Amino acid sequence: MFEFQNNYLKLFIFLALCTLLETTEFDPLGYILYCPCMGRFGNQADHFLGALSFAHGLNRTLVLPPWVEYRYGESKSIQVPFDTYFKVDPLQKFHKVLTMENFMKNVAPYEWPETDRISFCYMARGGSGDSCNAKDGNPFGPFWDTYNVEFVTSEFYGPLHYDVHHHDMIKQWREKYPPKKWPVLAFTGAPASFPVQQENLPLQKYLEWSENIEKKADNFIKKVL
């Protein structure tokens, strides 16, 4: 009887794993993560357009980061899921994306295991001369802590940069960091310039307010204006 139950349990676990793998499609061309750690909403939105363009150029899935907020009385930043303010589907019309929450739950365990979590930065950051120190300070630490991310080492990608509209940057990134060897590029900061590049401004048309925000806006117009 015990052996039968044990075999039944193994079968159940096997089928559950198969179902998960079938419903979770992994991108063979890789993913891009980053901490939107510079400035408040306006700066983060500027950087987002650049990051979206960068991911599109490399043809990697962009993991939509939460919005970093600084609230009165809070000593650490608060991470607000991306889809709290904006819809995800309209962005799919331009490029493949998924939320950070979705990535960490369904993709990271397979494509970004804890032993392979490497932080990317242009050059060494902070006191140590051989590390990105990706979690040093606020909001860097709280951002990654929200998703229980610990980095095992650092990767310096200089002299590469994020301007995929000029030169041959796309080719250089792909040659140095092929998806098979580097399935996830996790940046200490946004892979984008500030202020936003002129070429990336049209991408704002893919940002549509979430239904909840639209309702609040409509209510404000009805009651106040």
Quote the number of domains for the chain. 1
CATH number of the domain encompassing residue 84: 3.40.50.11340
pTM over 0.85, yes/no: yes
96: domain range? 27-224
**Residue 60 domain flag:** yes
**Residue 19 domain flag:** no
**Residue 128 domain flag:** yes
**Residue 203 domain flag:** yes
The DSSP code sequence of 16-76 is HHHHHHHH----TT-EEEE---SSSHHHHHHHHHHHHHHHHHHT-EEEEPPEEE--TT-SS
**Residue 20 domain flag:** no
pLDDT tens for the chain, residues 1 to 225: 556 555 555 555 555 555 444 456 899 999 999 999 999 999 999 999 999 999 999 999 999 999 999 999 888 999 999 999 999 999 999 999 999 999 999 999 999 999 999 999 999 987 767 899 999 999 999 999 999 999 999 999 999 999 999 889 999 999 999 999 999 999 999 999 899 999 999 999 999 999 999 999 999 999 998
**Residue 7 domain flag:** no
**Residue 166 domain flag:** yes
